[in-house]
Structures are given as C-alpha cells and as structure tokens.
C-alpha cells in the first residue's frame, strides 16, 4: 500500500536536496509533482486541491526554522498537511459509561465487514473486554454461518438467531416483540443487544448486510438498525482498493446511515491508497482502524501521524527533529554545524554536550525508535541498556579537560586513573576510547564527503 505514492513523493523531495533557498518556481514545481502523485494514487480531486493549497500557502509563507533547511521544511509541511487530511488526531472507540458498548458495522458487500468484526472482537477480548458478535446480515445466504466461523476463530461468541442463539437460549422467548421474526435484521440486531445486556457482555458488535452497490433498501435497513439499537459507534468499513469510487460510496453511506468512524480494510493490498487519503477529509469522520490481512490479528489502530510518516518513508523523524529543535539552543546548533563542517575534531566535550542535549530530548530508546528502519530492529532496541549511557558519561566526567580535548594523549596511567574515578574497569575505558576514535574518524570522513549522518529519507 502507498508504495508508489511514497516513491513519488520522496523523489519530489530529493529534487529539493541541497537547495539553500527555495524560489517560488521551486515551490510551484514541487506542488505540481505532489499534485500529480496524489492524483495518480486515486486521491479525490477536492482533497488534492485542499492539500496542495495548504502546502503551497505554508511553503510560500516561509516558516523560518533554525534547525531545518528549506527542503526539510517542505517535507515537514507536507507531513503536517498529510496528517490533517488523514483526520488529525488518533480517535479511540467511544465506550459506554454503563451497559454494553454497541458497535454497528456498515459497508458494501465484500468490503471486509465480517472479517473486521472478528478482528475487532478479538482485539477487544485481548484487552480484557467481553464482546459478543451479532449476525444481522440476513441478506447473504451464508453470512450468519460466516460470522460464526469468524467468531470461533476469534474466540468470541456469536448471537445467531436463525439457530436459536449462542449458549442454547431461545432468543424469541426472551425478546419476543409482536410480529417480528428471525428474518428481520432490525429485530435480530435489537435482540442481540438485549441478549448482551442480559448476559452482561460489555461490547456488542453488530454486523449488517451489504450489497454489491449502494442501494436505497440497503441504506434504509441500515438506518433502521441504527435507530433501533442506538449504537455508540457506527463504523463504515471501506475497501482501500476501491479507488475513485471511495468518495461516492462514503458519501452515500454518510447520507443514508451516517457513521462515527471509518475502517479501512485490505490495507495490505497494493492499492494506490486514494481511498485512505480521501475518505476522512471528504466525510469529516476519522479513520479509526486499518484492517491489514485475512488473519484475525491483522488489525491496527489508525494513527494519522504514523500513517503520514509511513507514506513519506521517514519513520517518525519529524518528531525527532522537533524535539531536537526544542532541545538545542541556536548557539549550540550553530557551534555543532561549524564543528561538522570545519576542520576541527570532535572532542569528548562535544560528546558531553550532545549527550545532555539528547537527554533533554527524551529517553534514548524512544528516540531511536523514531528512526526510519527501526521497525525491523525492535528486538535489538529492546535489549539496549540505558544505564550503559550513564556509565559512559561517568567515564568522560572522570577525564581532565586536557584529556577530553586530546583523547589521543590518554595513556595507560591516565586510563587507570579514569577507571578508578568512574568505578569501571580499565577495559571499559579502553573500549570507549577505541569507539570514540572510530567515531572521530567517521566524522572526518563525513566532513570530507559532505552531509550529515542519521537522517535517511530527508533531503539535505
């Protein structure tokens, strides 16, 4: 998902690499590229317009930043606008204060509703809830059976009136309402919710019928169910592969049933992602979950900011940059830049200064976790012992100012003294000096080759 959009956008930013100043024509051509990339990804035209307008205004308004070069600034703006388009903040399920939380699912047939019902139930069960599934899709011949299979896989009971109901109770004797019958999805939904109350389940997930295309009967039925069960959430499930039809479908469901949140399904596919990028902005309803496979655990809470980062292939580097902007003062930043570009060697004093700035930015694991590519290195990251950093700092503090500025002069007797002073072994001091020597060498090479390390995917 998003691979080609991602490639296109990153290529656009590469063109800005190394520019000291962006002219209006630089900005215009960047906007043109972004616009084409979005349209090719099937993003709806009104959304593309809104997006490019936002980026353009802000890029021309030249938000001045000490820490970012103009290319990086554009990336930052694009990222922030992307988050906005994707719905802004992460939105969590609205849970009932008392009694069961009722969640109704709506969407076209084949959109992935039933599959998602199982995933959501499982997720909630794993979080300590007691969910029950209700099969109010009486349209499709096999729908009830399908939900039963899904429920079995998720380890969650299914209320299926056609067969009596789960646990062997008779729904009709407990919930009979006049002339209504098993064949009436509104009645089934209502009976399901009542059952959940009686048996003290705390979440009821109601799967409703879909059709292959939007039609009025379907909408009316969904609206009737909504009215009858008064759900806390109505989640509209939409297939991310649907392309340009996303807008029409989403708007039809919004007008017909209305919904409180969106579920993007089949996000694991190689669709171009237009639905994802359009639906929140067109309907004003947040995307709450992503469904990412056929397995019962393939579900993710949708975070607009993380999705934007994924699209821009930058890990969470922007948060990292913002934290750096806050942690370094301007003078310090300028001093560092001078060191990196000039002929001077990196010293242990610089090292201490960086350590303290990094500490101001937050915990080191958290920082590393925001780097792109760190997803695959999660285990190594977890094994990292933060106390190691304290030991290193203690060693450096045991050095004299002369030693900090002239690491090469630290001979055997100095090493022994430093080890005693910081309460570590001489071999730990040796290791640090060796690694420091390597780091110095690396920085010298970088100086000659140009460019700063550590910001993959970022221009400049």
Q: How far is the CB of 295 from ligand GDP (least distance, A)?
A: 9
Give 281 or 292: the residue with its C-beta nearer to ligand GDP: 292
Q: From the list 292, 309, 323, 347, which residue makes contact with ligand GDP (rule: CB under 6 A)?
A: 292
| Residue 215 touches ligand GDP, criterion: CB under 6 A | no
Tokens 């640090």 locate to 432
Q: From the list 268, 325, 345, 393, which residue makes contact with ligand GDP (rule: CB under 6 A)?
A: 268
- The span of 253-261, 262-270, 324-332, 451-459 binding ligand GDP (CB under 6 A) equals 262-270
Q: How far is the CB of 296 from ligand GDP (least distance, A)?
A: 11
Q: From the list 12, 265, 281, 323, which residue makes contact with ligand GDP (rule: CB under 6 A)?
A: 265
Which x/- pattern, by CB under 6 A, does the window 241-260 give for ligand GDP?
--------------------
Q: Is 109 assigned a ligand-binding role in the annotation?
A: yes
Give 140 or 447: the residue with its C-beta nearer to ligand GDP: 140
Q: How far is the CB of 180 from ligand GDP (least distance, A)?
A: 24
Give 116 or 351: the residue with its C-beta nearer to ligand GDP: 116
For residues 29 and 405, what is the distance between their CA atoms, to the nearest angstrom?
Answer: 47
Q: Is 90 assigned a ligand-binding role in the annotation?
A: no
Give 71 or 210: the residue with its C-beta nearer to ligand GDP: 210
Which x/- pattern, by CB under 6 A, does the window 300-339 give for ligand GDP?
----------------------------------------
Phi-psi region of 451 (alpha: psi -120 to 50; beta: other; left: phi over 0): left
Ranges within 110-169 binding ligand GDP (CB under 6 A): 110-115
Q: How far is the CB of 109 from ligand GDP (least distance, A)?
A: 4
Q: How far is the CB of 85 from ligand GDP (least distance, A)?
A: 22
Q: How far is the CB of 301 from ligand GDP (least distance, A)?
A: 14
Q: Is 415 assigned a ligand-binding role in the annotation?
A: no
Give 238 or 418: the residue with its C-beta nearer to ligand GDP: 238
Q: How far is the CB of 442 from ligand GDP (least distance, A)?
A: 43
Number of residues that bind ligand GDP (CB under 6 A): 18
Give 115 or 309: the residue with its C-beta nearer to ligand GDP: 115
Q: How far is the CB of 205 from ligand GDP (least distance, A)?
A: 12
Is-contact 136 189, C-beta < 8 A? yes
Which x/- pattern, by CB under 6 A, does the window 194-213 give for ligand GDP?
----------------x---
Write out the chain in H/E/C secondary structure: CCHHHHHHHHHHHHCCCCCCCCCHHHHHHHHHHHHHHHHHCCCCHHHHHHHHHHHHHHHHCCCCCCCCCHHHHHHHHHHHHHHHHCCCCCCCCCCCCCCCEEEEEECCCCCCHHHHHHHHHHHHHHCCCCEEEEEECCCCCCHHHHHHHHHHHHCCCEECCECECHHHCCHHHHHCCCCCCCCCHHHHHHHHHHHHHHCCCCEEEEEECCCCCCCHHHHHHHHHHHHHHCCCEEEEEEEHHHCCHHHHHHHHHHHHCCCCEEEEECCCCCCCCHHHHHHHHHHCCCEEEEECCCCCCCEEECCHHHHHHHHCCCCCHHHHHHHHHHHCCHHHHHHHHHHHHCCCCCCHHHHHHHHHHHHHHCCHHHHHHCCCCHHHHHHHHHHCCCHHHHHHHHHHHCCCHHHHHCHHHCCHHHHHHHHHHHCCCHHHHHHHHHHHHHHHHHHHHHHHHCCCCCCCCCCC
Residues in the chain: 460
Is-contact 226 249, C-beta < 8 A? no
| Residue 266 touches ligand GDP, criterion: CB under 6 A | yes
Which x/- pattern, by CB under 6 A, does the window 78-107 give for ligand GDP?
-----------------------------x
Q: How far is the CB of 200 from ligand GDP (least distance, A)?
A: 27
Closest to 366 measured CA to CA, from 305, 416, 319: 319
- The span of 23-31, 109-117, 168-176, 450-458 binding ligand GDP (CB under 6 A) equals 109-117
Q: Is 101 assigned a ligand-binding role in the annotation?
A: no
- Chain residues binding ligand GDP by CB under 6 A are 107, 109-115, 210, 265-266, 268-269, 291-294, 298
Binding-site residue numbers are 107-114, 207-211, 265-268
């Amino acid at each position: 998902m998003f691979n080609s959009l991602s490639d296109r956008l990153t290529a656009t930013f590469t063109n800005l690499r190394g520019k000291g100043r962006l002219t209006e024509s630089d900005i215009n051509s960047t906007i043109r590229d972004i616009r084409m990339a979005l349209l090719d990804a099937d993003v709806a035209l009104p959304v593309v317009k809104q997006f490019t307008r936002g980026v353009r205004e802000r890029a021309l308004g030249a938000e001045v930043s000490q820490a970012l070069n103009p290319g990086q600034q554009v990336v930052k703006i694009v990222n922030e606008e992307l988050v906005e388009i994707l719905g802004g903040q992460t939105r969590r399920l609205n849970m009932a204060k008392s009694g069961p939380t009722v969640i109704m699912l709506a969407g076209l047939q084949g959109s992935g509703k039933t599959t998602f019902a199982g995933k959501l139930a499982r997720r909630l069960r794993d979080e300590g809830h007691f969910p029950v599934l209700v099969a109010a899709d009486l349209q499709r011949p096999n729908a009830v059976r399908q939900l039963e299979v899904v429920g079995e896989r998720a380890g969650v009971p299914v209320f299926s009136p056609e067969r009596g109901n789960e646990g062997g109770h008779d729904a009709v004797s407990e919930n009979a309402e006049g002339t209504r019958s098993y064949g009436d999805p509104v009645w089934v939904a209502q009976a399901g919710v009542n059952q959940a109350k009686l048996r003290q389940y705390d979440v009821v997930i109601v799967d409703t019928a879909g059709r292959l295309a939007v039609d009025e009967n379907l909408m009316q039925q969904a609206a009737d169910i909504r009215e009858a069960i008064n759900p806390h959430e109505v989640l509209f499930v939409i297939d991310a592969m649907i392309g340009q039809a996303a807008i029409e479908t989403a708007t039809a469901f919004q007008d017909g049933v209305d919904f409180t949140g969106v579920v993007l399904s089949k996000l694991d596919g190689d669709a171009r992602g237009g639905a994802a990028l359009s639906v929140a902005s067109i309907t004003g309803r947040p995307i709450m979950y992503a469904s990412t496979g056929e397995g019962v655990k393939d579900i993710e809470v949708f975070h607009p900011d993380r999705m934007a980062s994924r699209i821009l292939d930058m890990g969470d580097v922007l948060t990292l940059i913002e934290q750096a902007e806050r942690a370094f003062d301007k003078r310090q930043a300028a001093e560092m830049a001078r060191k990196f570009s000039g002929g001077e060697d990196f010293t242990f004093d610089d090292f201490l200064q960086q350590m303290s700035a990094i500490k101001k930015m937050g915990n080191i694991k958290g920082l590393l976790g925001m780097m792109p590519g760190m997803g695959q290195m999660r285990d190594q990251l977890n094994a990292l012992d933060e106390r190691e950093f304290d030991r290193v700092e203690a060693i450096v503090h045991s050095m004299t100012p002369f030693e900090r500025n002239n690491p090469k002069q630290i001979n055997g007797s100095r090493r022994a003294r430093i080890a005693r002073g910081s309460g570590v072994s001489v071999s730990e001091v040796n290791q640090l000096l060796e690694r420091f020597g390597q780091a110095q060498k690396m920085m010298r090479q970088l100086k000659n080759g140009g460019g700063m390390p550590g910001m993959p995917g970022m221009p400049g």
